[in-house]
Amino acid sequence: MTTYVERLALGPADGMPVAVKDTIDIKGRPTRAGCPALADAPPAEEHAEAVARMLAAGARITGKTVLHELAFGVSGINDHAGTALNAQFPALIPGGSSSGSAAAVAEGSARVALGTDTGGSVRIPAACCGVWGMKPSFGLVSRRGVMPPESSLDCVGPFAATLADLQWAMSVLAPGFAPQRIGSARIGWIAGQAEPAIEAALRAALDRPEITVAEVALTQLGAAFEAGLTVINAENWAALGPLLATGLVSPDVAGRIRAGAELTPADLAAAEAVRAAATAEIDAALASVDLLALPTLAAPPPSLELARRDPSAVAVTRNVRAFNLIGHPALAVPMGSLAGAPLSLQLVGPKGGDALVCAAAALITG
């Protein structure tokens, strides 16, 4: 197991140590996305904007991290580029697709790491590895220099060891982001989204004097989960389909890519209708509360052994993908562990409310 594809030391020796997922360009290094089909990719001509911003802020880039092949999977298992070790929970999957970035923060080789989140690919590994991970509001952080170049779902987002480090990263990545403080928050709890023990532990964490909790019922989350997969499959077929001709894409990933070829214009139109309905429902809910909360993971992460033996056991995106479809900011907040597995609370805010989400996390964990 390994965390990095390549170790680097770009930037000042005393700068904030930052790791970078290998779908994000670093000038002079190839971007291979953990896939043999990209083994001969040319070196990037420029830094991705996210990397350039980090370097301009005085960060030290520690290296490029491993990932689930082509960022299209959630276990983090990659027998070509390497499977990252989940330092806090070594028997469990590190999550995907940004597994190495989460692992780098969890093991302490970086205080901040950059990942990408199309259907949970920052929040899932953050939850599996017991660290902070944020999917910003869609479009808030530049995707210039990120693979794939076009996406209606994907966001560059940071992992961090602490909330303070996460907010530093967001202030670097997102023009206009400024950490804020709040004295109270109204949070809408979305019940019924996890195993009872997980739900009870996370719901209890909200019982604080500064927080008012109201239960919120949402009818569109399931449909948004499915519609999000439709959009992901269609966009990945367009972006990654040509790589299948090499014969060098792993069979499991190749099969998921091919699924996009079967989609019709009617399928995409239906998914877009769900996107509109889910957005309206979430926006209406956020008109009566400041934020929404639910478990990041509906069940404990499976073991690496189980994930290899039964890929269907890695059903970890149930609670996260909908928020990619609708574009709202979502933060995975580490909340310790339960029965030897990580606990993570997901906070969701209004579009553009990224700083509010972080401020509410400070109330809950402070």
Give 127-183 pLDDT, tens digit per residue. 999 999 999 999 999 999 999 999 999 999 999 999 999 999 999 999 899 999 999
Q: Are residues 160 and 229 in the same domain?
A: no
Q: Are residues 200 and 162 in the same domain?
A: no
Stated as kind and residue range, the H or E segment containing 358 is helix 354-365
Instruction: Give the end of a domain, one of 141, 173, 205.
Output: 173
Catalytic residue among 64, 75, 97, 109: 97
- Residue 109 annotated in active site: no
Of 161, 58, 62, 177, the residue nearest 112 (C-alpha): 161
Q: Are residues 59 and 191 in the same domain?
A: no
pLDDT single digits (tens) 44-100? 999 999 999 999 999 999 999 999 999 999 999 999 999 999 999 999 999 999 999
Using pLDDT thresholds of 50, 70 and 90, give the confidence band for residue 312. Answer: confident
Enter the tokens of residue 220. 């569109």
Question: Is the pLDDT confidence value at 311 over 90?
Answer: no
In a domain, 24, yes or no: yes
Q: Are residues 306 and 349 in the same domain?
A: yes
Instruction: Give the end of a domain, one of 147, 173, 199.
Output: 173
Beta bridge partners of 10: 61
pLDDT single digits (tens) 167-214? 999 999 998 999 999 999 999 999 999 999 999 999 999 999 999 999
Listing DSSP states for 116-132 in one string gives: EESSSTTHHHHHHHTSE
Of 73, 23, 68, 28, the residue nearest 46 (C-alpha): 28
Of 168, 148, 348, the residue nearest 238 (C-alpha): 148
In a domain, 178, yes or no: no
Query: How many domains are contained in the chain?
Result: 2
In a domain, 20, yes or no: yes
In a domain, 57, yes or no: yes
Q: Are residues 135 and 217 in the same domain?
A: no
pLDDT at 2: 87
CA atoms within 13 A on the CB side of 186: 10
pLDDT at 166: 98
| Mean pLDDT score of the chain | 97
In a domain, 150, yes or no: yes
Query: If you average pLDDT over residues 278-295, what whole number do you get?
Result: 98
Q: Are residues 152 and 260 in the same domain?
A: no
Q: For the chain, give the percent of residues with pLDDT over 70.
A: 100
Q: Are residues 29 and 168 in the same domain?
A: yes
In a domain, 179, yes or no: no
Report how far residue 248's alpha carbon sits from residue 267's, in angstroms, rounded to the nearest whole number: 29
Using pLDDT thresholds of 50, 70 and 90, give the confidence band for residue 313. Answer: confident
Instruction: Give the end of a domain, one of 120, 144, 173.
Output: 173
pLDDT at 356: 98
Q: Are residues 147 and 220 in the same domain?
A: no
Report how far residue 355's alpha carbon sits from residue 366's, in angstroms, rounded to the nearest whole number: 16
Query: If you average pLDDT over residues 251-272, what whole number do you get?
Result: 96
Listing DSSP states for 122-182 in one string gives: THHHHHHHTSEEEEPSTTSS--TTBSSS--SS-EEEEEESSHHHHHHHHHHHSTT------
Q: Are residues 211 and 327 in the same domain?
A: yes
In a domain, 44, yes or no: yes
Question: Is the pLDDT confidence value at 1 over 70?
Answer: no
In a domain, 75, yes or no: yes
* C-beta of residue 111 within 8 angstroms of C-beta of residue 165: yes
Q: Which amino acid type is present at position 254?
A: A
Q: Are residues 78 and 142 in the same domain?
A: yes
Enter the tokens of residue 247. 């014969």
Q: Are residues 82 and 204 in the same domain?
A: no
Using the structure block, give the residue that is written with the tokens 């930037």. 11
Q: Are residues 294 and 345 in the same domain?
A: yes
Tell me the CATH number at 29: 3.90.1300.10
Owning domain of residue 250: 185-365
pLDDT at 210: 96
Report how far residue 320's alpha carbon sits from residue 298's, in angstroms, rounded to the nearest whole number: 10
Query: If you average pLDDT over residues 270-274, what whole number do you get?
Result: 98
Look up the pTM and report it: 0.97
Catalytic residue among 121, 137, 250, 344: 121
